[in-house]
Chain A
């Protein structure tokens, strides 16, 4: 089943009278259970593309459909609902909320989705167990290592049972050992049926994706295709 379909997508910013095009005529389809890696040089617009795919930003022109529904005309509240219910995000710098424990961080997306307290607590504990951090449930982010924080972030991304997880350089801030552990975790999640879209510089991680794309000079090219 096609989850996301981006057609003729263009993103540009205005700098005075000048239009700075980040990418143009980008097309991409992501199916359920897909594993897509997007690579490219720094500043090529990978993260911008990921934010658009994750409904955190809007296209300048083109069409973006989620489950066949165009999202361009949707309001902020509706986009927030889609993000909360269908998407999960993993960031390079983890972005855990410092004032909340690991368990409370994982609970947050469920809280905003209106999941009752007891249910969200049970599910959050289960997710922490799944990423191997059940014993750190009461720890604050400052009491966790980088790898542990990223695993909490992955558990949080899984909180509402998303269709797609968007990961932006998920191993970028980690040492090799922790990076590999996160990599395995993400691959395992994908094996279990969650679509995975990741932006990375890590060739080894990108090589494990089903499909690889390169964003270069504003064009998204599939790896292995002519020009890719």
Chain B
């Protein structure tokens, strides 16, 4: 009897191909789109995870450029302290760089750097924890540049703050007292900086000063060569929610811009790329999910409508077949095959089409083929059978086929 049920169902499908073909095509298209979107979603989720890790662990550099000539620094120590207090979930490696040129004998010209650094800068760039350094009285000077501070070498260009004059402990003009210690005492790892703007810069030509000691009034005329450079970064705790990190970063930029309108603050290219990539992925994944959900809804609505329609059109045939000896279960199986087979076939074709598209476009659009998405598409391809079975089961439970004949004869 199984053979008869199958052959009769196929016969019915052939007779009603105008109903079944669009449904099968709709199903094929829907599953293909959903398969591709699911793979896109999985790829986006994976990429999202990577970016999220990057966001958590990456230093977001802020590019600071003058909007107009200004005697004020873009961020003074008080503002910096407020920033830290307001965003305890982030650290702020901050450093103001001044460049000096000096000579040992008049012929040999050397370049040195004075870095007014925050605690976070020391921790981030030199991997040294010196809590309180940024507002303390200790400075660290490299062996070579100590010659300049001690008067053995001559300053050619730039400005050395009075606190760093010859001798050990000095009282600055601003009233601060500073102990200039050998750089070795800092115990920094290595003898060169690893900061991206100071790649391979030797520590022995560097003086590290507390950030709070920076006094813009000591700045010489602003020229491109010796103008102070400001390095400000933001680092979030690893594992911080990416959306929260991005939101906080935007708040920080807004706050800095509000504090000092003479300066422009922006994320650097890498940060912008990260932000752009994150937003594009988030939008892409949302769009893909929306398309997938819409496609699925259309397919399912269409399918359930067709199942109901087929059932209503076949009620009398059920009654006749029942009079001819067909059991209700057999009629159910016949109807289920007729309703679901074309859609399932379309779904399987759609899953195959989706796989083909993904393999063909994988390189072009950077979508990974995903076993989970493929498995999901396969389940979706069989969804019409489950949907039809559910819809028909409730219909058949209430169906009294022979009563239809009795009604006709009354």
Chain A residues packing against B (C-beta within 8 Å): 43, 47-48, 51, 54, 56-57, 76-77, 80-81, 83-85, 89, 91-93, 95-100, 104, 108-109, 111-114, 117, 156, 159-160, 168-169
Contact = CB atoms under 8 A, between A and B. Distances in A.
Contacts of A83: 322-325
Q: Which of A104, A112, A114, A159 has the most B CB atoms < 10 Å from its CB?
A: A112
B328 interface: yes
Nearest to A92: B409
Interface stretch (B30-38, B61-69, B212-220, B313-321): B313-321
Contacts of A169: 409
Contacts of A57: 402, 406
Given A51-B402, A117-B4, A117-B7, A80 B325 contact: yes
A109 B322 CA distance: 9
Given A91-B408, A117-B3, A108 B321 contact: yes
Interface stretch (B8-16, B258-266, B358-366): B8-16
Contacts of A168: 409
A86 to B, nearest CB: 9
B325 A95 contact: no
A85 B16 contact: no
B330 interface: yes
13 contacts: A84-B324, A91-B405, A91-B408, A92-B409, A95-B408, A99-B12, A104-B8, A104-B11, A108-B321, A109-B325, A111-B5, A112-B325, A117-B7
**Considering the complex of A and B, which 5 residue pairs feature the smallest CB-CB distances, nearest first?**
A84-B325, A111-B4, A109-B324, A47-B409, A99-B15
Nearest to B410: A47
B327 interface: yes
Given A84-B326, A99-B11, A117-B4, 8 more contacts: A56-B406, A83-B322, A89-B323, A99-B15, A104-B8, A111-B1, A112-B1, A112-B4
A87 to B, nearest CB: 8
B65 to A, nearest CB: 78
A85 B11 contact: no
Interface residues of B, number: 30
Contacts, number: 93
A33 B265 CA distance: 105
A104 B11 CA distance: 10
Nearest to A97: B317
Interface in B1-60: 1, 3-5, 7-8, 11-12, 15-16
Given A80-B322, A83-B324, A160-B325, A111 B8 contact: yes
A104 B4 CA distance: 11
B5 to A, nearest CB: 8
Q: Which of A84, A99, A100 has the most B CB atoms < 10 Å from its CB?
A: A99
Contacts of A92: 409
Contacts of A48: 406
Q: Which of B11, B316, B322 has the most A CB atoms < 10 Å from its CB?
A: B322
Contacts of B16: 99
Nearest to B401: A56
